[in-house]
Amino acid sequence: MHEMSIARDLLEVIERYAPTNGSARVKVVRLRIGELAGVVPESLRFCFQVASEGTVAQGAELVIETVPLVGRCRACGADFHVEGYVFICPQCSSPRVELISGDELEVVELEVEQEGCP
């Protein structure tokens, strides 16, 4: 259940950056989560719903962009989607593959509404 501790950490980030005046409400939280991050979106949504009760982000919608796992071959330079977690270049079979994307666990932006002014 590390989604619960990730939800808690997410909430801390939101509270750090959201406006501090009492009437502001976070409505939407946009996230980028890599394929390799091992986070189950449904589980994170459930945990966030529980963790955000009574906070500035209570009831906020989590919009999650899944970032594909992309590798770059250090031998031939090819970029490719890593299928089945096989980090071997499909073009030249080199195992020297660096991760370009796919391990993200990021908050991109918040949509905030001031109560009384839609």
Partner 1 sequence: MSVITIERRILEKNDEIARQNRARLAEHGVLALNLVSSPGSGKTSLIERTLEQLNEKLRVAVIEGDVHTSLDAERIAGYRVPVVQIVTQGGCHLEAQLVREAMANLDLSGVDLLIIENVGNLVCPANYDLGEAMKIVIISTTEGEDKPLKYPAMFRNAAVLVINKIDLLPYLNCTLDVLKRNALQINPVLKVFETSCTTGTGISEWCAWLEAITRQKSAAIESQGHGR
- Three-state SS for 44? helix
Residues at the interface with partner 1 (CB under 8 A):
1-2, 5-6, 9-10, 12-13, 17-19, 27, 31, 36-38, 84-88, 95-97, 99, 103, 105-114, 118
How are strands ordered across the β-sheet holding 70-73? 79-81, 70-73, 97-101
The region, left, alpha or beta by phi > 0 then psi within -120 to 50, assigned to residue 106 is beta
To which H or E segment does residue 13 belong? helix 2-17
